[in-house]
Structure 1
Amino acid sequence: MKQTLLAILLLLPYFVQAQLQDSFSDGDFTKSPAWTGDISSFIINSQNQLQSNGPAVTGTMLHLVTPSQAVSGTTWEFWANLKLATSSTNYADIYLIADKEDLEANDVNGYFVRIGNTADEVSLYRKDAGKTAVMIINGQDKTVATSNNIVRVRVTRSVDYEWELSIDVSGAGLNYVSQGTTVDAVHKRSDYFGVLLRYTSANSRNFYFDDFSITDAQPPVLEELQTLNQQELTLRFNEPLTPEQAQSFRNYTLNGSRKPILAELIGERTVRLVFGQPFNVGENALTIASLQDLYGNKLSNPINRSFNFVPPAVMPGYNELLITEIMADETPEVGLPAQEYLELFNATSDKVLTLQGIRYSDATATTTLPNVQLLPGEYAVVVPNSQVQSFSRFGKVIGISNFPSLNNGGELLQLRQPNGRLIYAINYSDTWYKSTSKKDGGWSLEMIDVNNPCGGIGNWAASVNPRGGTPAQANSVSASNPDNTPPSLVDVTAIAPDKLLLRFDERLDSAQAAQTLNYRLNPSLAVAGVRVQGPLFTEATLTLASPLQESLLYTLTTTNVRDCAGNSGSLPVTYTFALPSAPEPGDVVINEILFNPRTGGSDFVELVNRSPKYINLQNWKLANTSGDTISNKKTITTENFVLAPGQYVVLTANPENIKMNYPAAPPAAFLKMSSLPSYPDDAGTVVVLQQDSRIADRFSYSERMHFDLIDDLNGVSLERIRLAGASVASNFHSAATTVFATPGYKNSQLQEGVTAQRVFKVEPLVFSPDGDGVEDFATVNYHTDKTGLVANITIFDAQGREIRKLVRNELLAANGFFQWNGIRDDGTKANIGYYLFYIELFGLNGEKSVHKEKVVLGGRL
């Protein structure tokens, strides 16, 4: 290469702008310039033309080449005379650009003009190594269709790689006709110019050439500027440069004043510049002056080129790459393409982040991000490959092949390094929209403050952009929203005798929260270890040195536990808990049910723990029945939820609806389920299943159980009367019409257990069935010391008239009660006054006893 360059430099005085001029007037083609190849098969004839003189053998191919490095900003001209009828076996290829000396080889790269083929035309071809040549300009047919074809050819290639082919069939060069133009920049290097002939035996001497001219009148053009590192550049030009100017550091200026400490010409067209100080982060400006090509074309004006420099890309660490926008429900379309998307944000101020190999996952699927870089503070939207074009107008777009579908209601999303290390995680929910209309679709969720990446619902909101979102752009809800509040301990559950699960209301500083000194138990038990659980770091598992005791209350005290933002409370935080016990059927029972809600309302089932145990409802189920089969089982909760003795819990799919309809309901009593089993308005069965699949409780209800005098049953629940009683119809009554239902707190119709001092006792002696929740019914309580007793109870008014057959042939338990709500057998309300319960008791051996108890039905006059 150095020898070739030296030879060209020596020739510079002979051709200032022309790289090649050869009319063969000296009668010698082996010098000035030198042609090589099949030199024995060519002659200079008496007209000073280059003429073929090869063997008269069909299929012969001949070639001659001369050095030429012209590739762009160049004009090629020559004269040719083919005294033959051109065909697929008789033609001439004039190589304007070639990277090999042997033009007959198949591995040549370059461009050539073909004179003659089956269409008898002059056309321009591109030759790629190992491949068949491709026509890029198709010349007019039949322009060389005689047996004596004279043509002068001119080809130009601009510095922008636009080709034009023109011919003059007179051969004079005064009447060129364009054969077409094209843009082709595949090959940008040349070493040779030459001719390649193919002929049959009769045409071995019939190819004539003259006036070869290659003219370069354009100065060098900078094609590419590339940063190698923070102090080095490479500059690639479109043609070879003269070394003296190319290697002068004075010809290069960075950012107005800085000169390189080294300017080195690599090969013929590439300059390496080394600077003594790093480039500016961001935009830099380079000025290039006084360069010239090998043919004397010098820059008339300096080249000014700007370039951006960014530090080498690195893998993001924890919270350095964030998910800052989520379009989970894309329909109905508001203004954006109807497509789910995620937005990523480089939260660093000085790092370029590479996304290559980062694993993005939702609850069910994982995909890998492509080789893309994000600059400091840069946003990008992630969509399926098929949607890249649709989102390109908004900003930077990253396409992936298997985009995991986003759940409309919310789910856990994670970004992890290729080695599995966590980068970022978020568990979004449709409650984060804080807008009923926007959560129905077409609007994205946006992070408010990107400097508060650990913030949950408080740092997210529905987009306010009219399009419905801001993919690959700063969020429309962007604002300062720092986290200044320390974490709160919201729950402690003993998940094993020696393990506690702690739940906090926000993300923790996982390293600091893992210190055992931050936790203390009373009664005293040592904490042996702490593990803060990812990916959200809102839960910590404490391992105890010795086991907890059942039914014993413990108090956990936490101190100095910091959140992700560094906040910690100044005062200790305490929480009281107990080790859950194994449940038995009947420990947790159905306490209240709303199966006929108001229009637009929701069902609920209330449970109560009537045992002295602490019972964990994790993986319990709520069900109904189909015939005699328990069916439609729904998991109450997959999380730990410990029910203390006497504690209520309300199960519903829509807590907000229940709270709106029954404002006295305590919010802490609700446990949201994704859906409840079907509980029809007319009748049905509620079944509660323990984790071990045993039936905890079962209650078959009917709308006929409601108090007959209630005009509108919609929105009125059935309540358990006595906590210790069985889950049967006689132990349930309509809630008082003053409240309609009591979700999460004491039933309006609750009665404490009454122990009969004799066989039968009425309580209260005066009742008023007006639905106000105060003594709305009377109970006939009984206590027997025998088994197998059967009772009939008939109610008479003060005049001795029978008004109600309350009980007929009822087999009694050891203890129990019957209720009368003041309704006659005909469904009307009895009048105010005295009434008599006439009770007949029958034994297994035929014995019979009669008991009479009085009651007063009161009311407002």
Structure 2
Amino acid sequence: MRKTLLFLMLLSVKLTSAQVVDDFSDGNFTSNPAWVGSNSLFNVNSSKQLQTSLSSTGQTVSLVTSNLLALNVKCEFLVQMNFDPSTSNEAKIYLIADNQDLNAPLNGYFVQIGESGSTDSYDLYRQNGATVTKIIDGPAKTRVDVNTLLARIKVTRNDVGKWELFTDITGGTNYALEGSVTDLTYTNSDWFGVRCEYTATRSTGFIFDDFTVSELTPDVTPPTLVSAKVLDELNVEVVFSERLQPSSALMANNYAVANLSAPTSVTATSIANVYKLTFASALPSGDYKLTVTGVRDLKGNQIGANNTATFFYVKPYTLKKGDVLISEVLSNPRTGGVDFVEIYNNTNQTLDLKELQLANIDATGVPASIKNVSSASVYMPAKTYWVLTTNPTVVKQHYNAKFPNQFVQMSSFPSYNNDKGSVVLLGTIGLLERFDYDEGMHIALLKDGDGVSLERTSFSKEANALGNFKSAAKSSGFATPTYRNSQEENAALTKNKISLVSKTFSPDGDGFEDLMQIDYSFVNNGNLANVNIYTDKGILVRKLELNTTIATAGSFTWDGLNDAGQQSKIGIYVIKFDTFALSGKTESFKQTCVLAAKL
């Protein structure tokens, strides 16, 4: 039984640790709770109330006690001033403050009482450093006794920052609303206190009693992990939805990062709900997942299960020549289009594009019109293609972007002429790569180069190597932003190949083998193709492709329709795939398939 009582007592202390309750019935202000500040200039009078002490000089005195409640909070207190208040004799009751010294610059909120005349208004102020701003302007109230001010004040603030100020100028609890406002400028607190400014003759005239700072509504909501981010190679910043109990927040074993040891230490920061995790050794580049358990908010609510946050880290790295390569250039967009430059991460690590610059050249061949790719970090995974442009939306409208998130929207772009020009990549070491393009690089049979990009065929060759950039294939939509170039050669391929995904298909709309897919792959790029469909009797039924520039690897599909748009009959069909290159080389392939139907 004694152990149970002890546990309940400890729990009670824990649950009320964030509150303030003091009616000074114990005859002091040094314990339960402890007030600090101008202690020698305050006393507890015979009526068990906090009162300012006699002073021979005019001055400003203050007392504060710990208060961590800043949202979902209710403050109540009694104030009495045994004189006619004025701007020289006024009181400020600080509901929220981040500085123990109420005479110094601080961030918080206070109720001010005291102005010249027999009427008083009760006002709420926000303080930012030494600057104060009235946010609730209460109406003027006439005192019954000109020489005495007596009021009980209640101030509430809910979870979304709505303040309400109430008073009863008879000292009772028949409260009247003075005003309301929503203000979320400061959402954390360290202190609650009173500040009295007086002339010598008014030094004993300030009386306070019945202080209560408590939750507006019971807090039963556990804290949540909001985010985590890397500060440097050893430190990670963690943000929670609310302030935590230090005993749990600073316990390193409550933090687990997959594939890493627990942090060696956890420290509080200047922001109350933000903590710093420090690890023993430098973080490797990569993705991380942080899981937090066991931490509690100031009310004692424990964080729920599955509170995780992901973060990403890339070790500082200086881009070198060959790390980022020019992959594709569109300098002559179709009507309504925009230029773009595609780049390729030629390394086996994630790169930060923040230090990358894009440029052209001036008449002397020097990089000009230099533009930063991004002012913030943009992480480019290994072996990926990313597109630089001023308008990703337009590029995605005009072309099939296989990886739509692999775009960087630049605020401005270097000028690239339609017919010829130079694309330049720069890093902190200087020139990374330069590509000199010319419209003559397009395939000779291309009727119109508008909207057709130039694609790199090999990353193992210099950008300006003869034939290393060619027209993107028509079969790929004339550009391949964010993925492998249609004209990129596969060094591992030794033989041209045409194949069918399935030898049979049934274009009946049931979702199973409705299309005949014809896959192709070629050792060399720059090929054009004619694809025709014949019956087993040799009758031409469909001209599927005609003089189409094709990628080094890709596919076509036949939906079973003939050239008249009619469904072809059930039976055996021959697919004839003929290719030719500008060099004069031709090649022909045949595949047989069956157009089937359900019985």
- TM more than 0.5: yes
User: 1:408 — aligned with what?
Assistant: 418
Percent identity of the aligned residues?
20
Structure 1 residues 100, 12: closer, same or farther in 2, change over 3 A? farther
- Residue ranges of structure 1 left out of the alignment (5+ in a row): 1-9, 486-566, 568-861
**Equivalent residues in 2 for 1:96-495, closer than 5 Å:** 96-106=95-105, 108-115=106-113, 120-128=121-129, 131-135=130-134, 138-142=135-139, 146=143, 148=149, 150-156=151-157, 158=159, 162-170=160-168, 177=177, 179-184=180-185, 188=188, 190-199=189-198, 204-215=203-214, 217=219, 219-222=222-225, 224-227=227-230, 233-237=236-240, 238-243=242-247, 246-247=250-251, 249=253, 251-255=254-258, 260-262=261-263, 264-267=265-268, 270=275, 272=277, 274=279, 281-282=286-287, 284-293=288-297, 295=298, 297-299=300-302, 301-302=304-305, 304-324=307-327, 326=329, 328=331, 332-334=335-337, 342-356=341-355, 358=357, 360-363=359-362, 365-367=368-370, 369=372, 370=375, 372-376=377-381, 377=384, 379=386, 381-383=388-390, 397=408, 399=410, 403-420=413-430, 422-431=431-440, 437=448, 439=450, 443=451, 445=453, 447=455, 454=462, 459-461=469-471, 474=482, 478-479=485-486, 481-482=488-489
Report the CA distance between 1:244 and its aligned residue. 5.9
For the 8 Å contact 2:342–2:482, the answer to whether it is kept is: no
The Cα shift of 1:85 comes to 6.7
Change (3 A) 1:419 1:244: closer
Residue 35 of structure 1: how far off its partner (Å): 1.4
CA shift digits 1:283-302 (9 cap, x unpaired): x4333222224x45131523
CA distance in 1, matches of 2:175, 2:103: 33
Contact 2:326–2:344 at 8 Å: present in 1 too? yes
In the TM superposition, 1:675-754 aligns within 5 A as none
String of CA shifts for 1:298-338, please: whole Å, max 9, x gaps: 3152351231333314222223223445454568425xxxx
- 1:93 corresponds to which residue? 92
TM-score, normalising length: structure 1: 0.44
C-alpha contact (below 8 Å) 2:235/2:276 kept by paired residues: no
Report SS of the residue matched to 2:51.
strand
Distance 1:319 1:226, change over 3 A: same
Does the residue aligned with 2:40 lie in a helix, a strand or coil?
A: helix
- For the residue of structure 1 that corresponds to 2:162, the secondary structure is strand
Amino acid at match of 1:424: E
Deviation per CA, 1:612-641: give whole Å up to 9, x if none. xxxxxxxxxxxxxxxxxxxxxxxxxxxxxx
Distance 1:219 1:430, change over 3 A: same
- Highest RCO, 1 vs 2 (Cα 8 Å, sep ≥ 6): 2
Residues 1-27 of structure 1: CA deviation (Å, up to 9, x unaligned): xxxxxxxxx998645234222222222
Change (3 A) 1:412 1:378: closer
Find out whether 1:48 has 2:45 as its counterpart. no
Q: Partners in 1 of 2:452 and 2:293 — Cα distance?
A: 52
Instruction: Establish whether residue 28 from structure 1 lines up as the match of residue 28 from structure 2.
Output: yes
Larger Rg: 1
Q: 1:25 to 1:181 in 2, by over 3 A?
A: same
Q: CA deviation at 1:358?
A: 4.7
Aligned residues of 2:16 and 2:299 also touching (Cα < 8 A): yes
> Does the Cα contact within 8 Å between 1:286 and 1:306 map onto a contact in 2?
yes
Q: Distance in 2 between matches of 1:145 and 1:460?
A: 88
1:124/1:165 contact within 8 Å kept: no
Alpha carbons of 1:289 and 1:203: their partners in 2 closer, same or farther (altered >3 Å)? same
Q: Take 1:125 and 1:99, find their aligned partners in 2: how far apart are those partners?
A: 12
Partners of 2:321 and 2:433 within 8 A in 1? yes
C-alpha contact 1:156 1:163 (8 A) present in aligned 2: yes
Matches of 1:194 and 1:391, distance apart in 2: 60
Alpha-carbon spacing, 1:167–1:380, altered in 2? closer, same or farther (3 Å): farther
* Change in 2 beyond 3 A, CA 1:87/1:199: same
Q: CA–CA distance in 2 between the matches of 1:151 and 1:465?
A: 81
| CA-based RMSD | 4.7
Question: Matched residue pairs, number?
Answer: 445
Instruction: Flag the 1:200–1:126 CA change in 2: closer, same or farther, 3 A.
Output: same
CA displacement at 1:341 relative to structure 2: 5.3
CA contact (8 A) 1:220 1:297 kept: no
- Output the CA distance in 1 between the equivalents of 2:408 and 2:362: 23
- Distance change >3 Å, CA 41–CA 416, structure 1 → 2: same
Map 1:734-813 → 2, pairs under 5 A = none
SS at match of 2:355: coil
Q: Secondary structure at the match of 1:355?
A: helix
Q: Distance in 2 between matches of 1:176 and 1:392?
A: 60
Q: Distance in 1 between matches of 2:86 and 2:266?
A: 46
Provide the C-alpha distance between the structure 1 equivalents of 2:249 and 2:323, rounded to a whole number of angstroms.
46
Q: Secondary structure at the match of 1:411?
A: strand
Equivalent-residue separation in structure 2 for 1:342 and 1:54 (angstroms): 79
The secondary structure found in structure 2 opposite 1:29 is coil
Shift of 1:173: 5.8
1:37·1:102 contact (CA, 8 Å) conserved in 2?
Answer: yes
Matched residue, 1:512: none
The alpha-carbon distance between structure 1 residues 463 and 327, as it changes in their structure 2 partners (threshold 3 A), is: farther
Which letter does structure 2 place at the counterpart of 1:375? Answer: M
Mapped to 2, the partners of 1:464 and 1:47 lie a distance apart of 94
How far does the alpha carbon of each residue in 1:168-195 deviate from its partner, in whole angstroms, 9 at most, with x for none?
223666757461213335x75x543322
Mark the CA change 1:272 to 1:310 in structure 2 (over 3 Å): closer, same or farther: closer
Answer with 371-380 or 458-467: which moved more: 458-467
Partner deviation per Cα, 1:413-460 (whole Å, 9 max, x = no partner): 21233232x322111234456666553xxx473646685775666645
Shift in alpha-carbon separation, 1:367–1:126, aligned structure 2, 3 A: farther
- Give the TM-score normalised by structure 2: 0.60
SS for the counterpart of 1:243 is: helix
Q: 1:40 to 1:484 in 2, by over 3 A?
A: closer
Distance 1:172 1:31 in 2: 27
**Distance change >3 Å, CA 263–CA 73, structure 1 → 2:** farther
**Distance in 1 between residues matched to 2:478 and 2:183, nearest whole Å:** 44
CA distance in 2, matches of 1:469, 1:175: 72
User: What amino acid is the match of 2:131?
Assistant: T
Alpha-carbon separation, structure 2, partners of 1:223 and 1:176: 39
CA distance in structure 2 between the aligned counterparts of 1:93 and 1:390, rounded to whole angstroms: 59
The C-alpha deviation readout for 1:763-812, integer Å capped at 9, x for no partner, is xxxxxxxxxxxxxxxxxxxxxxxxxxxxxxxxxxxxxxxxxxxxxxxxxx
Rounded Cα–Cα distance in structure 1 between residues aligned with 2:244 and 2:95? 16
User: Which whole-Å deviations, capped at 9, do the CAs of 1:17-72 have from their partners, x for residues lacking one?
Assistant: 342222222221122222122223333344433334464866x422111234x265
Corresponding residue for residue 554 of structure 2? none
